[in-house]
Amino acid sequence: MHNFTTPKDAAHCYTIADLRQLAKSKLPRAVFDFIDGGAEEESTLQNNLNAFSHYRWLPHVLNDVRDVSTHTTLFDQSMALPFGIGPTGGAGFGHPKADLALAKTASQFGIPYTLSSSATTTIEDIAKVAHGRLWFQAYVLKDKEFFWQMIERARACDYEGLMITVDLPVGGKRVRDFHNHFSLPFKLTPRNLLDFSSRPAWLIRLLTHGVPSLANLKGLEKAATTQASSFTKLASTVGKNYDPAFNFESLAKVRDRWKGKLIVKGVSRPDDAKRIMALGCDAIVVSNHGGRQLDGAMATLDALPEVVKAVDHQIPVLMDSGIRHGGDIAKALALGANGVLIGRASLYGAVAQSDQGAQRAIEILSEELTRTMQLCGVTKLNQFNETFLKKI
């Protein structure tokens, strides 16, 4: 593990770890921990990160790797890179332009961008500035009228895909948020006010742009706050609005009503994957929410091969959680993924330095992926397979 000084800006970041350190230096502890942390003991978060180190490369040599292509296709459309930007809620608490920066950067690099239901920028505002492939991630809400209204707004803005997150019937217990007095909706307390004032540049942006809100969930925030009887209950209050009754029949109704691509995120079991595929869904994302919900869950990289086997190439399988290097992306592809989604990796850049930070994150992953391909003796992504890896 390297121990370098904190980079002064995104241009001096050479790894995602550098961008993480830059973000940490610029954000109050409560805000950084909200982005960086996981549920309970954070064992799922660590499992996701550690899983990649359990697979070692067995590279081919003596191949001509002067010309390497990172292009792939998803839903019969070309992608310049085999990854997209996954949904990350509350990005605006780190930087007011973070959501916009991520969306614009995705367009520039020719990859999909997924807007979270709990983003701080609206469905419509994202569509105005990002002219690439847009997906909208919808949390399943108890208020079905509100739920369908969000989906209709995404359809009206020509979002290509709808992503339904199914691993979140209730909100996870994120202990860091409790200790830091960090909540959604945003609340000021004596403890976090001192924390916020320790980062004056961040605080000035907050005062200039106003306190961020969950722009696509306006109307639900008030209900969540009035339901909370203590601060502990107030943390992650959006979780109070999730529908724990949502099931396969409910998902079938979404499939019937949404005519675009339907992506189901939060799958780790092959039997669930088969049932989801049978409903006519267009893609599956193997995910455990980046370790932010169920603690002690299997790492997504370890769950990936069985899900890939279950769907048998009939629909694309993506994965997220724990990806911090271009080599991690290559390992997921070698284990059968059609592509991956990144979350914290690009979010660290966006909250640290808006557009420049988001762009630097994609550059780092792209450069690392290309180098990994060359060092493994491959020139096209579909040449990766399980023979390149040895699990230890």
Q: What is the CATH number of the domain that holds 342?
A: 3.20.20.70
Predicted pLDDT at 199: 95
> Between 344-376 and 326-334, two packed helices, what is the crossing angle to 10 degrees?
70
Rounded to whole angstroms, the Cα distance separating 120 from 123 reads 10
Q: Which regions in the chain score pLDDT beneath 50?
A: 223-236
Predicted pLDDT at 327: 98
- 339 with 23: CB under 8 angstroms? no
Taking only the tens place, the pLDDT of each residue in 102-142 is 999 999 999 999 999 999 999 999 999 998 999 999 999 99
Rounded to whole angstroms, the Cα distance separating 156 from 120 reads 19
Beta bridge partners of 284: 264, 317
Predicted pLDDT at 182: 86
- 145 with 153: CB under 8 angstroms? no
Predicted pLDDT at 296: 96
Predicted pLDDT at 224: 47
Catalytic residue among 2, 60, 131, 289: 289
Rounded to whole angstroms, the Cα distance separating 156 from 77 reads 21
Predicted pLDDT at 99: 98
DSSP state of 7: P
In a domain? residue 188: no
Taking only the tens place, the pLDDT of each residue in 326-383 is 999 999 999 999 999 999 999 999 999 999 999 999 999 999 999 999 999 999 999 9
In a domain? residue 326: yes
In a domain? residue 155: yes
In a domain? residue 119: yes
In a domain? residue 223: no
In the annotation, is 209 catalytic?
no
Residue 104, domain extent: 10-174+239-391
Predicted pLDDT at 237: 53
Predicted pLDDT at 233: 43
Cβ-based neighbours of 298, under 8 Å, separated by 6 or more? 47, 268, 288
In a domain? residue 280: yes
Rounded to whole angstroms, the Cα distance separating 110 from 227 reads 42
In a domain? residue 139: yes
Tokens of 212: 């961020």
Alpha helices in the chain (DSSP H): 16-26, 29-36, 43-51, 98-109, 123-129, 144-156, 175-180, 190-197, 200-209, 221-227, 231-234, 248-257, 270-278, 300-311, 326-334, 344-376
Structurally, the chain folds into a number of domains equal to 1
Rounded to whole angstroms, the Cα distance separating 332 from 336 reads 7
Predicted pLDDT at 181: 85
